[in-house]
Every structure is written in C-alpha cells, then in structure tokens.
Amino acid sequence: MNWTTRLRRWLVREIPMEDLLPDRLPEYVHSYVYFFGVLTLASFLTLVLSGIVLVIFGPTWWHISALGHFVNSVHFWAVQTFFFFMVLHLWAQFFMAAWRGGRAVNWVSGVVLFLVSILTAFTGFLSQQNFDSQWVALQGKDAFNALGVGGFFNILNFGQIYGLHIVLLPLLLAALIGFHLYLVRSKGVVTPIDDPLAPNEGAHHDE
C-alpha cells in the first residue's frame, strides 16, 4: 500500500465527510456558549482578508488615504473582536472542562493558539508605525533584550516585525487553527457537564 492510499484511508477513518461537514449536531450546541469559537474564527477570516488588502497597498496607503484608513480600522476592530471572543471561548471551554473525553490535545492546541495570537497581535501593533507603536517598540526592546532574544528579534526593525506579522505568524496561526478544527470535528463537540441526555464521554464521533 503506498502512502497516498494510507493517507486517504486515515482521513476517511479520522474525519469522514459526515463529521467534517455535519448537518446534524447535538441539541446543546444551539446554546450561545458554543457560539464563541466560530465568532473567533469569523474574526480571523476578516483579519486575513483585510490584512491581504493592507499588504497589497502598503503603509503609505493605510496611513494617508480614506479607504486605507477604513481597511486599517476594519483590521484593527477585527483584532478586538478576535481576542474578545477568543477569551470568551476560553472561559466557556474552561468552565465546561472541554478537555474531557480525550480532548486534552485540543485544549493544549488552544493554549498554544492563544500565545501565538498574542505574538501576532504584538507584531501587528508594532507594524502600525504610529507614535504609540513606536513608543511600545522602544520600550519592548528592553524586555526582548532581557529575555536574551534581542539578537534575533529587533522589534525596532519594521521590516523584520512586518515580515513576521504578515507571513510567518499568520501561516502558523492558520496551521494551528486547522489542527484545532480537525480535532473538534474528529472528536465531536464536548458534552455539557451533568447532562443526563448527553452521549457517553469519550464516544468517538458522538452525535
């Protein structure tokens, strides 16, 4: 058996189409508490789309033109909703102990996503190039030097920070989000605590 056949069989076993794009979900998923994850994802997609437009036209455009200001603001406010809903998603998953039933790796990937998101937001803040961001870069360089990574990350260097912000960190985020969603679809949505109607914990592909 060659590797493509093995990969296909693994994909079909791990995430069959009815799990990947389900048309039926457990009733408790209608609760608004289950809504925060997909709102975070929607904010991320808004960030990617508005970010691509900003990258195409460049810093002068987003600083000077009216349309540039608008797209820059869309990008800025999408970050606010991204973190707003991500933290609410974190609370929701924490209080329903969403690592139950073999979902520990998904919890850990969420923690990593949170940390990478903070780095991405930080490099984004530095890329704004306004006085606030220059001031933060000047202050933050001492922290980076104290950590011993000042030789690798010069946060006063716009080109370096901008490159991290628009290429490396978004790609890392997208890969981690893909992994996070794959685990959600593969393991199924976590059941509420103390729900007598909920299927058994740890059930694969629970419905």
Partner 1 sequence: MFPLTSNAPLDFFNMTASDLAIVLLMIAVFVLALVLPYPRRRPPKGGQP
Q: Is 35 in the site for partner 1 (CB under 8 A)?
A: yes
Contacts 24+ apart (CB under 8 A), 83-92: 83/117, 83/121, 85/36, 85/37, 85/39, 85/40, 85/43, 86/36, 86/40, 86/114, 86/117, 88/36, 89/36, 89/37, 89/39, 89/40, 90/114, 92/33, 92/34, 92/36
Q: Which of 14, 19, 22, 33 binds partner 1 (CB under 8 A)?
A: 33
Q: Is 27 in the site for partner 1 (CB under 8 A)?
A: yes
Q: Is 144 in the site for partner 1 (CB under 8 A)?
A: no
Q: Which of 76, 84, 144, 179 binds partner 1 (CB under 8 A)?
A: 84
Q: Which of 15, 49, 55, 88 binds partner 1 (CB under 8 A)?
A: 88
CB of 192 to partner 1, least distance (A): 11
Name the E strands within the chain.
none
For residue 162, what are its two tokens? 């901008």
Q: Among residue numbers 163 through 202, which ones bind partner 1 (CB under 8 A)?
A: 197
Q: Is 82 in the site for partner 1 (CB under 8 A)?
A: no
Q: Is 87 in the site for partner 1 (CB under 8 A)?
A: yes
Give the torsion sign (CA, 92, 95, 96, 102).
positive
Query: Which positions touch partner 1 (CB under 8 A)?
Result: 27, 30-33, 35-36, 84, 87-88, 91-92, 197
